[in-house]
Structure 1
Amino acid sequence: MRVILRNPRREVDVAGNRRVKDILRELDIMPETVLVICGDDLITADQVVREGDTIELRPVMSGGRAGPA
């Protein structure tokens, strides 16, 4: 399968059917830091990604404004 990483953009090939959490562990990425997208769907760490699929890992962005608006 192909894994597309953002920030910085790069692509990695991973062989075989794997659970998302196993792919993230192999790439040394903490699951809480990314959103995992397969096609148009957001997928969870327990879902299996099949050989031939492409997933995209997008960093989680958070923020806000401290104090009164």
Structure 2
Amino acid sequence: MALESAFGGFVQSQRNIADDVYDGAFKGLVITSPDGERVYYDNRLPGWELVSYHWKHFWNKVIDWFINNL
């Protein structure tokens, strides 16, 4: 098993068209042992941190709406 980053088309952040190094973006990445019993890396937000993240995201959307519409 491996992680891979592939060319996703020309985007704003690409500086050099001939460059063959691409950024990888992973959501909810969890790296475990082959048997799945040991977790080496977990990118997910746990419990209250996840709730806090969603609340802040929601609140920022509300503020943005007021800025744009009032």
Q: TM-score range by the shorter chain?
A: under 0.3
Q: TM-score, normalised by structure 2?
A: 0.20
Q: TM-score, normalised by structure 1?
A: 0.20
Pick the structure with more helix per residue: 2
Pick the structure with more strand per residue: 1
Structure number, greater radius of gyration: 2
